[in-house]
Amino acid sequence: MKIVDWPAADVLKIPGDFPPGPLFTVPPILAELRDNRPLCPVEMPSGNRLWLVTRHADVRFVMNDPRFSRDLVFPGAPRMAGDDLTSVAGSLFNMEGDDHTRLRGVLSSCFTRRSADVWRATTQRHAHDLLDHIERAGQGADLVEDFSEPLVARVAGDVMGLSRAEHATTQEHIRRQLDLLGSQEQITSATTALTELAGRLVDRAAESKGGASGLVTTLARAAREGTITREEAIGTTGLLLMNVTDPLVPPLTVGVMTLLRHPRQLGECVRGPELWPEAVREVLRYHNNGITNFPRVAVEDVERHGIVVSAGEGIVTSALAAAHDPREFVDPHVFDVRRREKGSVFFGAGPHFCLGSVLATVVLAAAYEVLFKRLGRLRLAVEPHEVRKADGGFFACPESLPVTW
Ligand code: HEM
């Protein structure tokens, strides 16, 4: 049966039918789907019906199988809520095959050990500066407004060559673009605005003499030399604007909440800072980002669990559900920074595996380390159940997190 023919009563709605568990934990319905409906039809806010995949093995399968394509740059492609970053031509994220390999090769040259060291030092410097401000202001702070958001803004600004004002505008565009409750017009206009901004950044990088190893500079230079097109430089810069910001704020906030609820493990990290990258990976496994990843489209019929995903139908993986699959992880509901299992999919898998995985880990680890070293008695200033989720966002994040120390 084609997905459009499924009776409405059997189709779950995202996000409405997927309320989170307590304290930003995994939506309980994902366990039920993993056990009983490993391929389940869901309706996205766009009105599109997609197949939702929840088992770890199936998520890896979809991410690795070229019959599921990330190229959604065509009218009528399956969408989350509207024409978001998955609709942008020239973005690495939306390409497949040889063109994807060629563009990815250009960008990979920026993700070196040296750049990780630079990002670590940048994060440490900004984290100390923000904590100086917080301490000077006296007891009590909002971790989102005073630490997580400005820290990520500053690091992203340095990495992408954005002024503070440009960064604020970028943030606003991204918020509107990834708003699951936003209108189609709002999402399209935000995508257009972000692509225009990316174009200005590429032009500026092409004119500048310094920063030869920066992300945008590398793309601009490759476009000048003809290795990639101008559209690819701009589309991929737009993707990076989102990547260096949006997925980092939630783990910096929810992760702090969760670490505070596990004081023994937190103490071990503070005493043995080499454990911080493990803590980051466990935060990302435990909370992940969003109910689902971005969609893919089947380019031929694929059968799985007795169901045929027909060519042209959309499919979406839930790395969050996969991270809590007991077929893969021992006691997946337990937060354990010393967890031994590898192979988690919070950074994706296959050809589109996250290029920034090392950098993201470095930034989050440095931020946790500085925060808990400076504010050794950090604690929530409200009851954990009082912390509210911000509305609409793709990534689940508290709207504020009052803390004291
Ligand atoms: C905690 C933070 C992050 C998480 C959880 C995350 C997760 C992911 C995931 C799951 C994908 C693959 C999606 C798919 O195949 O459907 C991806 C792709 C990507 N990520 Fe990340 N990411 C993070 C941070 C970053 C950062 C900081 C950067 C860059 C500086 C980055 C750059 C990219 C790029 C360029 C791709 C596209 C790769 C391709 O299509 O070949 N990410 N990320």
| Ligand 1 geometric centre to CA of 249 (Å) | 14
Q: Where are the domains of the chain?
A: 3-404
Rounded CA gap, 302 and 121, in Å?
46
Query: Pairing between strand 39-43 and 12-13?
Result: parallel
pLDDT digits (tens, 9 = 90+) for 32-57: 999 999 999 999 999 999 999 999 99
314: nearest Cα among 30, 3, 23: 3
* Token representation of residue 139: 């007891």
* Whether pLDDT at 212 is above 60: no
CA of 44 to the centre of ligand 1 (A): 22
Atom of ligand 1 nearest to the CA of 159: 30
Residue nearest to atom 32 of ligand 1 (CA): 356
- For residue 87, what pLDDT is reported? 98
**258 CA from centroid of ligand 1 (Å):** 23
Across residues 181-195, what is the average pLDDT? 95
pLDDT digits (tens, 9 = 90+) for 322-335: 999 999 999 999 99
Give me the CATH topology for the region 3-404.
Cytochrome p450 (1.10.630)
Phi first, then psi: give them for residue 160, nearest 5 degrees: -95, -5
Calculate how far, in angstroms, residue 289's C-alpha sits from the geometric centre of ligand 1: 11
Structure tokens at 302: 């694929």
For residue 161, pLDDT over 90 is answered with: no
Segment 109-120 mean pLDDT: 91
Is pLDDT at 211 greater than 60 in this prediction?
A: no
pLDDT over 90 (residue 396): no
The mean pLDDT of 87-91, rounded to a whole number, is: 98
Out of 78-87, 156-165, 276-285, 355-364, least confident range: 156-165
Ligand 1 site-directed mutation target among 243, 297, 317, most atoms within 8 Å of CB: 243
At how many degrees (to 10) do helices 184-207 and 215-225 cross?
Answer: 70
Ligand 1 centroid, distance to 405 Cα (angstroms): 34
Ligand 1 centre to CA of 357 (Å) is 7
Ligand 1: residue of 63, 69, 315, 354 to mutate (most ligand atoms within 8 A of CB) is: 354
89 CA → ligand 1 middle, Å = 17
Residue 96, amino acid: E
Q: In the structure, which protein residues have their CB atom closer than 6 angstroms to any atom of ligand 1?
A: 63, 92-93, 104, 239-240, 243-244, 247-248, 251, 284, 289, 293-294, 319, 346-348, 352, 354-356, 359-360
Average pLDDT estimate for 1-30: 93
Closest ligand 1 atom to Cα of 345: 10
Q: What is the pLDDT of residue 177?
A: 93
CA atoms within 13 A on the CB side of 141: 23
Q: Whose CA is nearest to atom 17 of ligand 1?
A: 354
Average pLDDT, the chain: 94
Q: What is the 3-state secondary structure (H, E, C) of 339-397?
A: CCCCCCCCCCCHHHCCCCHHHHHHHHHHHHHHHHHHCCCCEECCCHHHCCECCCCCCCC
Cα(356)–Cα(106) distance, integer angstroms: 14
pLDDT of residue 69: 98
Tens digits of per-residue pLDDT, 227-266?
Answer: 999 999 999 999 999 999 889 999 999 999 999 999 999 9
CA quadruple 358, 387, 126, 379: dihedral positive or negative? Answer: negative
Say how many Å lie between the CA of residue 382 and the centre of ligand 1.
Answer: 33
